Structure formats: structure tokens, C-alpha cells
Chain A
Amino acid sequence: MAEKKTIIEKIWEDHVVHRDEGQPDLIYIDQHLVHEVTSPQAFEGLRLAGRKVRRPDLTFATMDHNVPTKDRENVKDEISAKQMDALKKNCADFGVKLADMFHPDQGIVHIIGPQLGLTQPGKTIVCGDSHTSTHGAFGALAFGIGTSEVEHVLATQTLYGDRPKTMNVKVNGPLGAGVTAKDLILAIIAKFGVKFGTGYVVEYTGEAVQSLSMEGRMTVCNMSIEGGARAGLISPDEKTVDFLTGRRYVPKEEEAFRAISEKWLSYATDEGAAYDKTIEIDATEIEPQVSWGTNPGMVVPISGATPSVDAVDNKDEITRALSYMDLTENQPITSIEIDHVFIGSCTNSRVPDLKNAAEIIKGKKVKDGIKAIVVPGSFLVKSEAEELGLDKIFKEAGFEWRDAGCSACLGMNDDIIPAGGRCASTSNRNFEGRQGNGARTHLVSPEMAAAAAIEGRFVDVRSYTTEEKIS
């Protein structure tokens, strides 16, 4: 009988271009995604060395980090404009496809890859962005790289890497009603810490993971890096195949599609394959989660409170975080009042995210004094959401409905949370100053963010009554 392998080993072995004992493997990269912030120095490096992009056909670029989410025609920040112009010129000079600010395919790089069908099971996918792990939801080996590596991939379509250590993050039992993929990944990081995955590629398995929609799986894989893992993935199944059916870069012809989907499914981890490490969590115990501090491991359930400094080992870190967040020890999460709400980012800006938030909002109003924005992940998400009438629901409730981009996830454009502002955010990082210098971020699911917008503070969305489902 053939050796039982994990999906991680299968993909890796399939991509080894060159192996020397005692050296890292040289692996082939099937898909390279590029954005404006981490690429200019890489293209410049190629130019200086007189090199070409080896496979422009396997490279796809978009603009997302800097783009304004309103009045796109006039980018006020000159340096942002310069960075975007540089990408335009680089893509033109080197023959790389680009979905620029006005292109219908534009959006956050990790949202558009799957939508276009560039993301597929079994592929190696890289991008100069740590949330490239998102694409792992499809059973791709996808990870973030630095700019030197971006240049390396542009020039050679390969990368050096050590055979990854494998970790199984096993989620037992089902998630409760009203508990989302976001709560699951936040709970995993809260339980195992911000570096449990360092040095590993993690595979998420178990009932709760299998039951997730593809969008939910993307939310989980997206935040692998917040647990230290450069890549996180989920074995492909029928849901994966269904999602990809008919996408632009997926074969359409019946026979070809059947062949490729068989190949995709063959990457799934073999029953009984061994991992270097396995950790487990019980999904049935997970409540909606809220981050209280300044790293994504500082997370508690909605029924919980901020920690007591006496009870922790890392007293300095916790004290500094409480002070930055302007919270006290043992403060109940439901007592925290917010003044900003951001629904967006590559973690939670897909159609179902927006729909779930809209169901909470429908017929209600954003509380006075709260600035709330929804930023769809891509133009395509935006138009699909508008077909469902979600834009109207949000706008009637008092949300702003914006154009696609990273926006207030990192505030490189004008969407910045002011110093001292406190934001319920569906993004993935609550680092100091992430959403704006002095801004305070609480990471939550779209549903929890929506409920917070109405109540002005965090509430348990499970006890929240909604008018009706949006079909």
C-alpha cells in the first residue's frame, strides 16, 4: 500500500524542482499574486539586473492596500498615487496582468484570487503578503513572502524552502448556532497563542471545519499567520469543487473539468496520515469572541472579561496592552463601548459576511455617534451584494457603503481610525496603531460588529433578535 500522506506533503513533493541533501528544496510556484506595496523594490531589482519576469502568465497583480474607497478618481496622497503608478508601469513593462483601481476584477488580492478561480487545490501560491494563507481554504499551499522573495519568484518562478513540518489543528464537534468561522479561529489563537504555528504548516480538520462554507474556511485559513503559521490549509472536498465550478481561470469543458477536479480531490490528506504535531479544540464550547488587547491572542469570549494582571505570567505585556486599550483589569467585555465599526478586510468581506451582518442590521439604526463603514472585498463582491440589496440595508441603517480595498484594516488610505477611537473590526490584526496611530481595535465577526454598531457596545449576538433572513 502506498504511504499515507498529508495534503501538505503531497503538494510539496509535487513541486520540488531540485533537492540537495542538507539544503532547502527549490520548489515551483504555480501562482504569484502581486500588490502595490511589497512589489516596487522587487521589479526595480529585476530592472537593475536586466532580468525578465519568467512566467507573466502565472502572475497576477492588483491594487488594494492604498486605494481610496471613495472618490477613487482623486487619490489625495501623492506617495500612494506614486506607488500605484509604479505598479502600473511595472506590470506594463514586464507584461503582467493587472486589475487596477478601476478594473472590474479589482479587490483585495486574497478575495479576488478565489473569485477568479486562480486559487485551486494542489497549487503553490505566494504573494508578498502574510495573509496569503487565505488561499489554503481551497487546499492550496499558500504563504506570504517578503520582497526579496517576490523578486526571486518573478525571476525564477521558484522559491527555496525547508520541507514544512506538519500540524493538525483538529476541531472536534460542531460550532454552536450564531458562532462563526471568525470566532473559531480567534478561539484557536486565544487557546494556543500567537506562535503555536511557528515553523509549521497547519491543516485544519474535524467536523466544525468540514461544515464551514468556503468563505468560512477562508476566514479560518486567513488568520493562520496570527497563530504564527506561514500557511494554513484545509483538504479539498465537494464544496471546494462546487465553489470553483465555472470560475474564469478554471477549465470549462466538461471532460477537462472532470479531470482537474479529480486531481484536486486527490490532494486531500489520506485517512490515517501522520502529522508532526496534533492539537485539538472542542468547537461546542466556543462562544462569540472579542479581542481586548494588542495582539490576536488577547481574545476572550463575549461572556468574559479582560484578564487580571495578578493571574498572568506576562504582567508587563498585559499591563501595557490594557493601558494602550484604555481598559481596566477584569473589565466585562459587554461594558466596552465603541465609536467605530469596520466591516471589511480579507478576513471578512465576502458576500456571506456582508449578508450575515446585514441580517442583524436590517430595520435597525447605527447608534448615534458611531461611524460605521462597510468595505466589500472586491468590486465583484460589491456588485453581488448590491444585487441582494445589502447596500440599501446598510445605508438605511446608517453605514457607509464603500468601494473595494484593504481600507481601515491597516489604514494606508484615508480610512483611518483616529487616535483614541475604539473600533469593532472584522479584520485580523489588533496591533497597536494598526488602524491608525493611537486607535484601539477589537477583532470580532461581522455579526458581532453589526450588533455592536447598533448597541454601541459589545453584545452577545446569539441573543440578538433579527427580523428575517435575507434570501
Chain B
Amino acid sequence: MEAVEKHTGKVYPLNRDNVDTDQIIPKQFLKRIERTGFGQFLFYNWRFDDDGSLRHDFDLDNEKYEGASVMVAGENFGCGSSREHAPWSLLDFGFKVIIAPSFADIFYSNALKNGIIVIEADKDKVDEWQDKAQSGDFQLSVDLVEQTVTADGEVYKFDIPSYHKEKLINGWDDISLTLQLEDKINQYEESGRMGIS
């Protein structure tokens, strides 16, 4: 995982609540056995008609949002299945930061594991940023170390559990960290506390 401390980018507003992972990446694209190349399928059924032509009732592909790397989304973002293909597709499409009033648990941890900065922000702020982003040239700057989002010179402080922050900033890989605790795992296994049969 790449280390990340700061990010500034154009905002794409997704003004919908309860966006589920079936919408983020529909099932027909879960058959690939690689981790890459999922960006083209992001929100596929909202973006494209059956024949592959662009739909006009969803604005992710609107020119004004080209290059957006910060998504400001609605409540309970990422609910539904545990598919990590959802953060893979968001990241591959170019989103480095996702801000929402609330996230579904599994999505939140999957996103962090891929180095996406996920920020829970107050609903009022989210609404304000979504409104401003309609213009297509609204930028946000995120500073993980300071735990701030800066927009139009205004600074907003956010909370994030310190261990998540540390992992993102250092780009740590969980497995290598855990393998340093191998003795403890051995001890646990030998203790007979585990496992039942």
C-alpha cells in the first residue's frame, strides 16, 4: 500500500444515500481474478445503457467532473456486499478520498486497506460541499496528519481512529505487521484456548 499524507483534488458530488456495492461495481465484473482494471466498470449500470452507450441521467462522466479525485457521498456509503472490488474500482477510476456522513463497516475497512482516505464528516458539511461541487471546479485539500479538510480557505477538522491514520500515513501492510507477532500466534495456538474441535 502506498503511503499517503495529503491530497488535493476536484470534488465529485454523489448526492444519494445508501449507495450499495452492487451499484459501485455490478456483479458481472466480479469475475476477474486480478486486482486492477476495475475503474472502467465503476457505477456501470448507472453510467451505461445495455448497449454500452453513456446514459444522461448520471453525471459522473460529465466533462466538468473530469479528473475528480475526491468523492463526497451520502449516508451509509458502500452498504451491501463485502466485495473489495468496490474500493478497487473507485481507486482505479481515480478517487483517492471519499467523504460521507457515514459508511458501511466492511466498505470502510476495505477502502482503508487500499489506501483510500475515508472521512466521516458532519452531514451539514457534506451537503455544503456537495452543493459547491455542482460547479465542477470545487477543490478540497485533505491533510491526514492535521486531520483537516480545507475548502475555500475554510478549515474543517475530522476524526479518524489513530491506528487507521498511522497505517495510511506509513503505507503499512497489515500482514507484515502481524507476522512480527508470530510468536504470539504460536503461543495462542499452543494454549488450547482456540478452537473447539
Are B110 and A260 closer than 8 Å at their CB atoms? no
| Across-interface contacts of B184 in A (CB, < 8 A) | 17-18, 26
| Across-interface contacts of B161 in A (CB, < 8 A) | 162
Assuming the contacts A17-B184, A429-B22, asked whether A145 and B106 have C-beta atoms less than 8 A apart, the reply is yes
Tell me the residues in window 142-157 of chain A with beta carbons closer than 8 Å to chain B beta carbons: 144-149, 151-152, 155-157
Are A23 and B20 closer than 8 Å at their CB atoms? no
CB proximity of B63 to chain A, nearest CB, Å:
24
- For the residues of A in contact with B, the DSSP-based class is loop
B195 and chain A: residue at smallest CB distance: A30
Contact mask B159-177 → A, CB, 8 Å, 1/0? 0011100000000001100
- Most A CB atoms within 10 A — which of B18, B102, B188? B18
Are A156 and B179 closer than 8 Å at their CB atoms? yes
- For the residues of B in contact with A, the DSSP-based class is loop
**A407 in the interface, Cβ–Cβ < 8 Å?**
no
Are B197 and A295 closer than 8 Å at their CB atoms? no
**A160 in the interface, Cβ–Cβ < 8 Å?**
yes
| Across-interface contacts of B174 in A (CB, < 8 A) | 148, 152, 160
| Across-interface contacts of A155 in B (CB, < 8 A) | 175, 178-179
**B94 in the interface, Cβ–Cβ < 8 Å?**
no
Q: Which stretch in B64-72, B76-84, B127-135, B142-150 binds the other chain?
A: B76-84
**Residue A263 contacts which of B27, B104, B178, B196 (CB distance < 8 angstroms)?**
B196
**B154 in the interface, Cβ–Cβ < 8 Å?**
no
| Across-interface contacts of B185 in A (CB, < 8 A) | 17, 28, 54, 156-158
**Residue A228 contacts which of B23, B79, B181, B193 (CB distance < 8 angstroms)?**
B79
User: How many A residues touch the partner, as a band?
Assistant: 35 or more
**Residue B82 contacts which of A77, A128, A260 (CB distance < 8 angstroms)?**
A128
B74 and chain A: residue at smallest CB distance: A317
Are A30 and B30 closer than 8 Å at their CB atoms? no
**A91 in the interface, Cβ–Cβ < 8 Å?**
no
Chain B residues close to A by CB (< 8 Å): 15-18, 20, 22-23, 26-28, 30-35, 45, 50, 75-76, 79-84, 87, 102, 104-106, 109-110, 113-114, 161-163, 174-175, 178-179, 181-182, 184-185, 188-189, 193-197
Q: Which 3 A-B pairs have the closest CB atoms?
A: A146-B110, A40-B33, A146-B84
11 A-B residue pairs with Cβ-Cβ distance under 8 Å, sorted by A, are: A14-B193, A37-B31, A83-B31, A120-B196, A144-B82, A146-B110, A251-B197, A264-B196, A419-B50, A431-B20, A432-B23
> Apart from A15-B193, A83-B32, A433-B26, what are 9 other A-B pairs with CB-CB below 8 Å?
A28-B193, A30-B196, A38-B82, A44-B35, A148-B110, A198-B104, A295-B20, A412-B30, A433-B45
Chain A residues close to B by CB (< 8 Å): 14-15, 17-18, 22-24, 26, 28, 30, 37-38, 40-41, 44, 49, 51, 54, 58, 65-66, 77, 79-80, 82-83, 86, 120-123, 128-130, 144-149, 151-152, 155-158, 160, 162, 194-195, 198-199, 225, 228, 230, 249-251, 260, 263-264, 295, 314, 316-317, 320, 410-412, 419, 429, 431-434, 437-438
